[in-house]
Structure 1
Amino acid sequence: MRWDRFFDDLEGQLASEWEAERAALDTEAERLRLSRVLLRERLSALMDRGRETPAPSFEVADGTVLAAEVTGVGADWAALEGGRSGALIVPFGSIAAIGMPHADVLRTARPAAGPGTLADRMTLGFVLRDLVRRRVAVSVHLVHGRVLSGTIDRAGADHFDLALHEPGTPRRAADVTGHRLVPFCALAWIRLDAGAALI
């Protein structure tokens, strides 16, 4: 009888140690999985979030805080829709922080639903070249706080050419007041003129 209790006690201790070791391995596996999650994946998970909670807030490099929903995600940029502010393009490198409810923080840390899409591979340059093709007027917000209004004439691999003109007006040669070459690294975010859709 004493031996039965002794062996039961040993069995209980072994089971307890096994559970503790398994929990430690599960925790380490979760840490390893989280170490591989990309910002792009977390932003993509925000695209199908419920709208019953406030929109995420994006703090960008120029100090602006944008309360907006994520409507698209590319290789190195996110498309946001901020109520009456219209379509916005924010490079990942300009995002300083993202505020969101704790439930969204946890949900976006889950594994991606499936294989990537074509949009996941579109770079900022690709999106800007589409704006060039469609002659969309934009407001370009630079990381140091300055805002330039105009139309993007050309988009290179790491910069774009902006023809400056009054906001809300079409690009006409007579209305262009100057030109700027803007490196992607100087870009905080872009606002498309009202009514313009992204891609």
Structure 2
Amino acid sequence: MRWDRFFDDLEEQLASEWEAERAVLDSEAERLRLSRVPLRDRLTVLSEPGAEASPAFELRDGTVLVGRVTGVGADWTALDPAESRAGAVLVPLSAIVSIGMPHPDLLRSARAVAPSPLRERMTLGFAVRDLVRRRVGVTIHLSSGRVLSGTVDRAGVDHLDLALHDPGAPRRAGDVSGHRIVPFEAILWIRLEPGARTL
């Protein structure tokens, strides 16, 4: 009888050690997986249908934008701001300093997403060229603290041409007060006119 109990105890101890070792391996595999997750994948999870999170995005100039993530590209994210009358916002990922959200949303954002070759090609330039095509009025907030309003006339690989005019006004030659070339790296965020939708 004693030997039976002794072997049962050994078997339980071995099973317990095996479970502990497996838990360590699982946690190490999860840490390795998480070490390879880019920010855009975490934002992609927050943009999925049914996601109700409205993270707070702190930008390099101290601005905090609170809104639901509606789209993600290779180097940008689109937000639907919590402000009721605000238009959609495009934010380059490089302008983000931190993102605040409730812990459950933070954990959910870390789950794996399927790779998307299309998302990889949808750069900020791609999104801005869509604004050119649709002739959407924008307000661009620059890292210098300046704010420019107008319509994007052209978009290159790393910059855009902006025709300056009053916010909310249509782009008419007589209402254009000037033109600016704006490098993408100078942009903190772009607000589209209310009612305009991102990609």
| Gapped regions of structure 2 (runs ≥ 5) | none
Structure-1 separation of matches of 2:119 and 2:17: 47
Corresponding residue number in structure 1 for 2:64:
65
The 3 A distance-change label for structure 1 pair 49 and 59 is farther
Q: How much does 1:78 deviate?
A: 0.9
1:85 aligns with 2:96: no
Deviations 1:91-128 (A, max 9, x none): 1111111111111111111111x452734531110111
Structure-2 separation of matches of 1:131 and 1:149: 14
- For residue 92 of structure 1, what is the amino acid of its counterpart? L
Corresponding residue number in structure 2 for 1:109:
110
With the length of structure 1 as denominator, give the TM-score of the two structures: 0.90
Structure-2 separation of matches of 1:159 and 1:29: 41
Corresponding residue number in structure 2 for 1:184:
184
Q: How much does 1:50 deviate?
A: 4.3
Corresponding residue number in structure 1 for 2:146:
146
Q: Is the 8 A contact 1:73 1:120 kept in 2?
A: no
Corresponding residue number in structure 2 for 1:29:
29
> What's the C-alpha RMSD, in Å, of the aligned pairs?
1.8
Q: Identity rate of aligned residues, in percent?
A: 67
Q: How much does 1:15 deviate?
A: 1.9
1:17 aligns with 2:14: no
Q: How much does 1:90 deviate?
A: 0.6
Q: How much does 1:174 deviate?
A: 2.4
3-state SS of 2:7 partner: helix
Deviations 1:154-196 (A, max 9, x none): 1111111112111111222222222221111111000011222
Alignment of 1:146-165 (within 5 A): 146-165=146-165
Structure-1 separation of matches of 2:23 and 2:13: 15
| Gapped regions of structure 1 (runs ≥ 5) | none
Question: How many positions carry a matched residue from both structures?
Answer: 196
- For residue 26 of structure 1, what is the amino acid of its counterpart? D
Alignment of 1:122-141 (within 5 A): 122-141=122-141
Q: Is the 8 A contact 1:74 1:122 kept in 2?
A: yes
Structure-2 separation of matches of 1:115 and 1:164: 38
Deviations 1:65-93 (A, max 9, x none): 11111111111111111132111111111
With the length of structure 2 as denominator, give the TM-score of the two structures: 0.90
- For residue 71 of structure 1, what is the amino acid of its counterpart? T
- For residue 56 of structure 1, what is the amino acid of its counterpart? P
Corresponding residue number in structure 1 for 2:97:
96
3-state SS of 2:85 partner: helix
Structure-1 separation of matches of 2:165 and 2:77: 26
